[in-house]
């Protein structure tokens, strides 16, 4: 997925106009309308679609970011718009903080999977403190766009058009809730065709009912977060890219506790992990 083709320079600004949610939505709709992918679509329709989506729940996800998005008839393709509001805007965000960085996504109704991938990409990039700082510090629209694309690059290296001949079983075990959520978003963004998750228990939790081990439970980790296991069948020639992208989230796994990657070569694979 080449996300850059959905983000034209003319749809980026470091001086987003608007002091209210409605005014900002109007400005973002104007940026979307500037893209060639929006030719034939009225700005009013885009604005209306974004506002209607907000009635379902605010797209202000906290940490000073918001990702307004909607589907609009007659859109030729997807368009992203980036905007920075220096003063911040009250956007009914989950944490009640003002929003400073906006990424709007608008696309055709008939491509829900791509819509989800772009949402996952935007959420992952804007959710990272380093990328938000770089975007807020951008002195030009060009720099803003480049900062976003740079941090989106690791996960967008995989192309959904690649041959889907599965030959490796990727197992990811993580304890931290935030890392787990980020990896799930990463897999969605990559367009991996199927992944399943399983919640496990630490050894200390299993032994919690045995009085003889009572004094050692903290050592064994009974109070630690429960581990999550993610299983996915992936093409072997994409493993390096996938692992690199995961370590963008976790850091160097050789020096990170609470996360592990295991890769197996199954002898037989029949069927798919994709859901109906």
Cα distance between residue 170 and residue 73, in whole Å: 38
Cα distance between residue 230 and residue 227, in whole Å: 10
CA distances from 24 to 8, 83, 163, 176, 222 (A): 19, 9, 41, 35, 47
Cα distance between residue 81 and residue 79, in whole Å: 7
Give the DSSP H or E segment for 169: strand 168-174
Indicate which residue of 69, 100, 115, 151 is catalytic. Answer: 69
Cα distance between residue 170 and residue 236, in whole Å: 10
DSSP-derived letter for residue 175 is -
69 an active-site residue? yes
CB neighbour list of residue 18: distance below 8 Å, 6 or more residues apart: 24, 25, 26, 27, 85, 89
Residue 3: other Cβ atoms inside 10 A: 20
The residues annotated as belonging to the active site are: 69
């Amino acid at each position: 997925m080449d996300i850059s083709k959905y983000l034209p320079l003319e749809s980026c600004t470091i001086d987003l106009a608007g002091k209210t949610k409605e005014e900002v939505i109007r400005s973002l709709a104007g940026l979307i309308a500037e893209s060639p992918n929006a030719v034939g679509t009225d700005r009013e329709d885009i604005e209306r679609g974004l506002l209607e989506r907000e009635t379902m729940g605010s797209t202000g996800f906290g940490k000073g970011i918001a990702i307004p998005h909607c589907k609009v008839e007659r859109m030729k393709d997807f368009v992203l718009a980036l905007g920075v509001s220096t003063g911040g805007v009250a956007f009914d965000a989950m944490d009640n903080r003002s929003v400073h960085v906006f990424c709007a996504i608008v696309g055709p109704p008939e491509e829900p999977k791509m819509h989800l991938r772009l949402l996952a990409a935007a959420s992952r990039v804007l959710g990272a403190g380093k990328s938000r700082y770089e975007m807020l510090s951008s002195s030009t629209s060009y720099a803003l766009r480049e900062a976003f694309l740079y941090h989106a690059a690791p996960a967008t290296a995989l192309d959904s058009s690649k041959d889907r001949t599965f030959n490796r079983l990727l197992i990811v075990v993580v304890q931290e809730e935030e890392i787990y959520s980020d990896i799930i978003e990463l897999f969605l963004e990559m367009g991996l065709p199927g992944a399943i998750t399983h919640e496990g228990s630490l050894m200390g939790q299993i032994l919690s009912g045995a009085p003889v081990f009572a004094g050692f439970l903290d050592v064994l980790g009974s109070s630690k977060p429960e581990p999550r296991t993610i299983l996915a069948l992936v093409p072997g020639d994409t493993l390096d890219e996938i692992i690199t992208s995961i370590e963008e989230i976790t850091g160097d796994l050789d020096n990170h506790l609470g996360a592990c990657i295991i890769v197996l070569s199954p002898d037989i694979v029949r069927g798919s992990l994709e859901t109906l």
